[in-house]
Amino acid sequence: MERISLQPRSGWQQQFEQLGFSYHSIDGLYWDERYAYRFTEQQIDVLEQATEDLHQMCLQAVDHVLRHGMQERFSIPPNFWQRVEQSWREREFSLYGRFDLSWNGQGAPKMLEYNADTPTGLVESSVAQWYWLQDVFPDADQFNSIHEKLIAQWQSFPHKGMLHFACIMQNEEDEGNLSYLRDTAIQAGLTTRQLGVEQIGWDAQRARLVDDVDLVIDNLFKLYPWEWLSREAFAVHLEQPSTHMRIIEPAWKMILSNKAILPVLWELFPGHPNLLPAFVDRWRIQGDYVKKPLYSREGENISIYRGSEVIHTDGEYGAEGYVYQALAPQPFFDDGITPAYTSIGSWVVGDQAAGIGIREDATLITKNTSRFIPHYFE
């Protein structure tokens, strides 16, 4: 795994805007093709296998949590547990997820967390870096079958009727990811409609959730976390499994997208090479560690304790509690110009590994402002 310096292409901004990747320069610099990461084919094989192994372990962990009544660890509203349990029993349709890994190309990749409910970064991981590859390294390859696998997974969606896509429409990044996912569903032959979460309402006469033009919502893809959805005014109508609306990602993903799954994984698979020691109790961690809220997004409210050094980010999370995970520092690259810590986002579509996207930051905590760097392998 090497970090190499490159000359950015001329006109890449216009190319990406035509692809719908309009937020390429959000916060000044997001997509960054001054660099690229080069892997060997063998290293890609390691990432692919680790991703699929971790995904299967996570599915076993969901089953374990539900069979052993461990719901209280997750701070999920109690009135939603029946829906969570039934969605798992029925193995409700799931589209995708993304593991965040720490790895320098040697040894075993380490799982930092699983973004299993509302992961973003799809446009740049799939189409954007693929177009970059064709222009810059046309004879090389890339770990990236995300687009094709998304279409294939949508084709396996077992329910008929319109599929609504919803997010917070004032968020450019969310809108870009939502529109891309909707496009893959259209390519799969599904009928779709896009709207804002705030445009979803309850029709008491029909006892159904409806959109802004009073169309009944039979199937909903929401780029909107379950923990937020459960607090919406219409959430009372989502609690019971009898609700006549299928939601993607399904309710059982509330378990996987919660940091409380990390200690469960370590309990089930202690010493697994792709896992880090993780506990509910701080005293059980030896050495450097990370304190993570059960619910946390975009690197908020993370605290890293490394020797006498403490790195902390602010945010709005932590009220539900924390878990403690051993520190696996991301690899550090320093070219004397833009030194950076690197995090690998490894995508799962359905139950298959589908590709990676790489983020860089000046600190050990990957945030919403961290830069995206393309990759290739030979």
Q: What is the pLDDT of residues 61-93, one digit of tens each?
A: 999 999 999 988 999 888 899 999 999 999 999
β 208-210/219-222 pair status: unpaired
Distances (CA, A) of 86 to 73, 89, 91, 349: 19, 5, 8, 22
- The model carries a pTM of 0.96
pLDDT confidence of residue 94: 98
pLDDT at 195 over 80: yes
Mean pLDDT check: name the lowest of 38-47, 232-241, 298-307.
232-241
pLDDT at 237 over 90: no
pLDDT confidence of residue 241: 64
Tens-place pLDDT, residues 137-177: 999 999 999 999 999 999 999 988 999 999 998 889 999 99
Burial degree of 95 (CB within 10 A; 0-12, 13-18, 19+): buried
Say how far apart CA 174 and CA 180 lie, in whole Å: 10
pLDDT confidence of residue 242: 61
User: Mean pLDDT over residues 286-293, rounded?
Assistant: 95
Q: Percentage of residues in the chain with pLDDT exceeding 90? A: 83
Burial 167-183 (b: 16+ CB within 10 A, else e): beeeeebbbbbbebbbb
User: Mean pLDDT over residues 243-258, rounded?
Assistant: 92
pLDDT confidence of residue 170: 86
pLDDT category of residue 231 using cuts at 50, 70 and 90? confident
pLDDT at 342 over 80: yes
pLDDT at 355 over 90: yes
Measured in whole angstroms, the distance separating CA 198 from the mean position of its chain's CA atoms is 23
pLDDT at 354 over 80: yes
Residue with tokens 């917070």: 168
pLDDT confidence of residue 334: 94
pLDDT confidence of residue 243: 64
- Find, among 286, 294, 295, 329, the residue nearest to 311 by Cα: 329
Say how far apart CA 28 and CA 122 lie, in whole Å: 20
Domain coordinates of the chain in residue numbers? 2-258+333-377, 274-332
pLDDT at 105 over 70: yes
What are the structure tokens assigned to 147, written together?
Answer: 């687009």
User: Mean pLDDT over residues 226-239, rounded?
Assistant: 88
Average pLDDT, the chain: 94
Distances (CA, A) of 138 to 16, 17, 19, 37, 132: 18, 21, 19, 15, 9
Cβ atoms of residues 50 and 344 within 8 Å: no
pLDDT confidence of residue 175: 95
Q: Enumerate the β-bridge partners of residue 98.
A: 115, 347
User: Mean pLDDT over residues 84-110, rounded?
Assistant: 96
| Angle, vertex CA 107, rays to CA 104 and CA 111, nearest 5 | 70
